[in-house]
Chain A
């Protein structure tokens, strides 16, 4: 089992959800996050005072899946989120040790889907 964390452009979320749905990955957690990459964010100006390095708005997706779904999920996220411009985001893949469904107490592969 793997835990996929993807940081994407907020306006790409709808497309990524659609491409994931196409490969039958429907379960995810989504949150609004702030972040920056190599360009060190944007510059803001308030009453003439410049503030460089402000964080940009991003969306974070978290998806837990069985091994068979990992590569298709990564491809689906890229397909939905990629524009080719700087700032498209990143995908992190982590090993997942255990999963518990709270309602039934099921564990691991039985609980993941």
Chain B
């Protein structure tokens, strides 16, 4: 056991918690209309409550406990944290308490469904959202996490690389978010009427805190206070910087002015793209990953979404789906053993195989997330009804789902 490693992983767990609330919640909360800001904060906060419990009751066990034989799902050995204590588990992290690894992973399980709330914002029924979230965590996140990260997971056995969750966290939630918005339908008035962000300073503050917390997410995924953590830290900062700047330059060229929303959107896309790669690539290549992700995500949001007019309200698919897919592919391009001996060389270092494995990882994740989200949506929609009534959507979710409002007009 190493006290430095343990301290870093525990601190990183707290940093990843900060990414969900307040960072992500305020990033999203600022982008919606003032009548719905609390609903976004509430959804982020309640996911932290609910998934924290789901994780220790059974989520951690089915994701990480020894495989049941086919590489599909973990067992029930660690249900209710049975046998998960102070002693390290050498399969995952030999130098820190097993409990520290578990709570670090808990924060990932929390933020993943929270990323999706930006897509179906301003029109989902709270009760249905809550049930859907628990089902999605259980039937999409937990199995995928097992396949890619669990010992015996079939994608892990194939050599798939996902350092901190580009596939398991971002691609899965981004693609599922797109399915959700296609099934849920557009908000009333979209796209004829503009939906202006009601508080961009919230959004900038949220994005800035995401950048801060993401060091725990990525550098913490080294599971130790070591050179790999330092590499992940530097590549994360570099890709984020390159992506934020690139987005600003694209907007400057396209619209004559760089927007603050553009810079922070680009930065978040950069963090997403470097997530799977941060422990496998060098800082110079992180610049390319960051620059290209802003180009791809800008095209996805400003062109493709505008063309097909699907109402991905806060661009969860456009940023996390597209960015996660690019980051996973980019890992297959830029990964090098000189950075991480336990990783692999990518295409640019002569290894076609790794590139193909990363492609397979994307295809499998996209298909699985699409099919399962479609099934879970239909199930919850049939039993509870996924969307609020038209009248309630017009009044706003803060008042109709939570009986409160964020701002008073008169004292």
Contact = CB atoms under 8 A, between A and B. Distances in A.
B302 A44 contact: no
Contact of B298 (A44, A45, A46, A48): A48
B194 A48 contact: no
B306 A49 contact: yes
Interface in A43-69: 44-51, 54
Given A51-B194, A51-B196, A46 B306 contact: no
Interface string B254-297: 11010101100100000000000000000000000000000000
A48 B299 CA distance: 9
Chain A interface, DSSP helix/strand/loop, else mixed: strand
Nearest to A52: B194
A28 to B, nearest CB: 20
B77 interface: no
B315 interface: yes
Contacts of A47: 261-262, 265, 301-302, 315
B197 interface: yes
Report the contact-size class of chain B (Cβ under 8 Å from the partner).
10 to 19
Nearest to B259: A45
A45 B197 contact: no
Interface residues of A, number: 9
B251 interface: yes
A38 to B, nearest CB: 21
A94 B196 CA distance: 35
B197 A46 contact: yes
Contacts of B194: 44, 46, 49, 51, 54
Given A49-B302, A49-B306, A44 B255 contact: no
Contacts of B265: 47
A48 B301 contact: yes
Contacts of A49: 194, 302, 306
Interface string B176-199: 000000000000000000101100
B197 A48 contact: no
B190 to A, nearest CB: 11
A51 B257 CA distance: 14
B210 to A, nearest CB: 16
Contacts of B251: 45, 48
Nearest to A46: B261
B191 to A, nearest CB: 8
Given A51-B194, A51-B196, A46 B255 contact: no
A70 to B, nearest CB: 31
Nearest to B254: A48
A111 to B, nearest CB: 25
A45 B255 contact: yes
Contacts of A50: 255
B196 A48 contact: no
A48 B257 contact: no
B32 to A, nearest CB: 12
Contacts of B196: 44, 46, 51, 54
Contacts of A45: 251, 255, 257, 259
A55 to B, nearest CB: 11
A49 B304 CA distance: 12
Among A44, A48, A49, max chain B CB count under 10 A is at A48
Contacts of B255: 45, 48, 50
B410 to A, nearest CB: 12
Contacts of A48: 251, 254-255, 262, 298, 301-303, 306
Given A46-B196, A46-B261, A47-B262, 4 more contacts: A45-B255, A48-B301, A48-B303, A49-B302
The 6 closest A-B pairs by CB, nearest first: A48-B302, A51-B194, A45-B255, A47-B301, A46-B261, A47-B265
